[in-house]
Amino acid sequence: MRFVNKKDIFIIARNSGILMIGIGLMCLVPIIVDLIYLEFNLIYYIVPAAISIASGSVFMIIFREYSENRMRLKHGMIISALIWLWASLICGAVFYFVTDINIIDAVFESMSALTGSGITIYPDVEVLPYSILFFRAFQQWIGGLGIIVLIISFLAKPGSTTSKLYNSEARDDRLKPSIKATIKETLKIYLVYTIAGIIMYVIAGMPLFDSVCHTFSTISTGGMSVKNANIGFYHNDLINMITIVLMILGATSFMVHFKIIKSRGRSLIRDLQFQVMISLIAATSLLVYLISNILPMDILFHIVSAVTTTGASIQSSTVIGGWPANVIIFIMVLMLVGGSNGSTVGAIKLMRVITFFKGLYKNLREVLSPTGSVVSLEVSGKKITDDLVAASGNYITLYLICIVVTWILMCSFGHDPFDSLFFTISMQGNVGLEIGQMSQSIELPLKAIGIFNMWIGRLEIIPVLVTFSAFYEIVKKFFRR
């Protein structure tokens, strides 16, 4: 094999082991809720957890000689892609056993929760056991920061492996010199906002269990709810505003949060991505208010939900589907753009969009400028290279190709083209908003494709392409024998 050999496979297996153990431990957390509410589903959490922990332990023992020092970025990317699939399978097994649904639906629900997509296949979530409702929210909270990021913060040692795994989940911001210290600071910020969210919801009148679950799903920009009507169930403008604040906090870079105290809030105001996000929210809200008869709270809430890729709602999907077509198109555009790099959001992300348009502007300036003129490109006072502009353009192209392919497949199964496009953008961007009830009506093959869309959307495509290339190399080598 040219790019992947047997040693690479062993390194991947060895370093996947600790993450598989972490996923198993994650499945044990809802047992606390199960015991509190006397639901007696312990075995259905323990069995998948035991499988994951045992498998991870075996990998770590068998391949222990393939130490952390041999890790490369390609290993990290492949591990990241496979671990997200493994987590969806193991956590999906819990849904399969406890709620008695088919395995595709179970993995779809799990992938949706972990990636923060927030799309549910359950027509009535209010009949689900409390432990399952908590488990879905907990998965969103874990996935918002990153499965791998959270596991290595507790189980992994500082070193090159930690760095490679951190970067493999599409993260490159460093709050501290070391990756391990960066992860700890990020986790502290995440915990502070989580605790604050729970307290604010309780003060606003939301029950404690609901407050915990909704804070988990909102700060992670996941959007799943313990109620069929989502946040709209409570008919409480204070709860709506708290949710809006949490969604914006979740969609803001952790680097900005880290600097808030030291800069006395100036880092938030000066951050270009935050400025663009707030400008998009304000401008779109005003425009929709002027061209429609939709209530102001409905406008603001769903626009924030779209651009932060949270997918929380205060109106049903059928009501949103009845809004003017131009309003729905605005929402789709916001779902494509997303929030800040280095936050919990999905979609293309603001910095890529800003970089792409800055590069386009540079090209136009170069054409119009005198021959030999050099046009520099800066974003937030930092010079941006042509390679970075090209990378942003390439990613946006790949992202849109994935959407178009899935959209065509949706239409091929006879679904409404407009509804299908909205649903595809929502899955790919890990958003969760819907018009109509497509998540409960699409066929199993489309759900399998949806799992793929949510997976590549969360990992930002490249790690998945690297994984596919590695498997192609392995298969090609196998058949040459």
- Tens-digit pLDDT profile for residues 396-455: 999 999 999 999 999 999 999 999 999 999 999 999 999 987 888 899 999 999 999 999
Predicted confidence at residue 152, as pLDDT, reads 63
Predicted confidence at residue 58, as pLDDT, reads 95
CA distance 94 to 48: 7
Percent of the chain with pLDDT over 90: 67
- Tens-digit pLDDT profile for residues 148-205: 776 665 555 555 555 556 555 555 665 555 666 777 888 899 999 999 999 999 999 9
- Tens-digit pLDDT profile for residues 334-374: 999 999 988 889 999 999 999 999 888 888 887 787 766 66
Which tops the pLDDT comparison, 207 or 180? 207
**Angular region, 379: left φ>0, alpha ψ -120 to 50, beta rest:** beta
Predicted confidence at residue 154, as pLDDT, reads 56
CA distance 151 to 26: 9
**Whole-structure pTM value:** 0.92
CA-derived radius of gyration, the chain: 22
Predicted confidence at residue 472, as pLDDT, reads 86
State the number of CA atoms in the 13 A half-sphere of 1 facing the CB. 18
SS3 content of the chain, % helix, strand, coil (to 5): 70, 0, 25
- Tens-digit pLDDT profile for residues 283-322: 999 999 999 999 999 999 999 999 999 999 999 999 999 9
CA distance 278 to 31: 40
Mean pLDDT of 259-264: 77
Look up residue 460 and give its two tokens.
Answer: 């930002």
Predicted confidence at residue 25, as pLDDT, reads 96
Distance of CA 396 to the CA centre of its chain: 17
Q: DSSP string spanning 28-69? A: HTTHHHHHHTT---HHHHHHHHHHHHHHHHHHHHHTTTS-GG
Q: Residue 126 contacts by C-beta under 8 Å, 6 or more apart in sequence?
A: 226, 227, 228
Mean pLDDT of 142-150: 81
Q: Residue 355 contacts by C-beta under 8 Å, 6 or more apart in sequence?
A: 379, 384, 388, 389, 392
CA distance 310 to 121: 17
CA distance 252 to 250: 6
Predicted confidence at residue 1, as pLDDT, reads 43
Percent of the chain with pLDDT over 70: 91
**Angular region, 227: left φ>0, alpha ψ -120 to 50, beta rest:** beta
Mean pLDDT of 93-119: 97
CA distance 438 to 429: 16
CA distance 402 to 458: 13
